[in-house]
Amino acid sequence: MSVSDETLMAYADDALDAGARAAVEAALAADPALRARLEAHRRLQAGLRAAFDGALAEPVPERLVAAAQTRPPAAPVVDLAARRAARWSVREWSAMAASLAAGAILAFGLSGGPRPPAPDLVVADGALAADGALAQALERRLAADESGGAPRIGISFRDREGRYCRSFSVETVAGLACREDAGWRVALVTAGQGDVGGELRQAGAHTPQEILAAIDARIAGDALDAAEEAAARDAGWRAAAAP
């Protein structure tokens, strides 16, 4: 059997399940060239460890220890259960939207709690669509663009039907939208992560698990890198440009 580079890499990282591992081992036994590739992976792995392990052996500078031991003036420890993420499906959003006049901008209300700022969402043709500043950001903004405030763009990718999709966040709300002819259709919205500082989400590291799972379920190939993202935007997110 032939073993792909990614599979061999996963074998070297011990990231394969037992069945796949056995298959790679059988291939290794029969193929000296494959064994040589594996050895190259192991040499690189050992080299990378050696290149950076020096930091582990050195004494930690006092200023860093002091930074970690400083008691910040206000570090409120709150009950996490009280602010557990409330996940809103399209169905719930649609129900809420339907109770308002179509075309109206939704205010995002959580009963009893503070009201996080709303992404602009409207109901169009029975589905939830982006509007206003959110639609503008989905259409024009790049993930690296950090000027101004919300909404921010996370990951851009192409789904299995060739459409472009992008994850986004607005304050404590995160979502996933895909481009259709009429505009950006919102597939999923989650709320209530409570990340007040916003910095974690800024670089995409705080994309909620539900959104990541939704991306995994839709993505075809790899996420767009910065150049591909800019090119797709400049081409108007046309699905027709699919390879």
Residues that bind another protein (CB under 8 A): 5-6, 9-10, 13, 15, 37, 40-41, 43-45, 47-58, 60-61, 63-65, 67-72, 75-78, 80, 144, 146, 154-155, 194-195, 197, 199-200, 202-207, 209, 212, 215-216, 219, 222-223, 225
Q: From the CB of 143, what's the least distance to another protein, in Å?
A: 11
CA angle 106, 177, 89 (to 5 degrees): 60
Q: From the CB of 101, what's the least distance to another protein, in Å?
A: 36
For residues 163 and 118, give the distance between their C-alpha atoms in angstroms, rounded to a whole number. Answer: 25
Closest listed residue to residue 191, CA positions, set 84, 51, 113: 84
Task: Note whether 107 and 118 are within 8 A (CB).
Answer: yes
Nearer to another protein, 226 or 241 (CB): 226
Nearer to another protein, 37 or 105 (CB): 37
For residues 88 and 9, give the distance between their C-alpha atoms in angstroms, rounded to a whole number. Answer: 38
Nearer to another protein, 1 or 15 (CB): 15
Nearer to another protein, 129 or 143 (CB): 143
- Give percent helix, percent strand, percent coil of the chain, each to the nearest 5: 40, 20, 40
Q: From the CB of 183, what's the least distance to another protein, in Å?
A: 25
Beta-carbon contacts of residue 193 (< 8 Å; ≥ 6 apart)? 85, 172, 174, 201, 206, 208
Residue type, 210: E
Q: From the CB of 230, what's the least distance to another protein, in Å?
A: 15
Q: From the CB of 171, what's the least distance to another protein, in Å?
A: 14
Nearer to another protein, 33 or 240 (CB): 33
The total of other beta-carbon atoms located within 10 Å of residue 235's CB is 11
Nearer to another protein, 75 or 240 (CB): 75
Residue type, 88: W
Residue 190 in 3-state DSSP?
strand
Q: From the CB of 117, what's the least distance to another protein, in Å?
A: 19
Residue type, 127: A
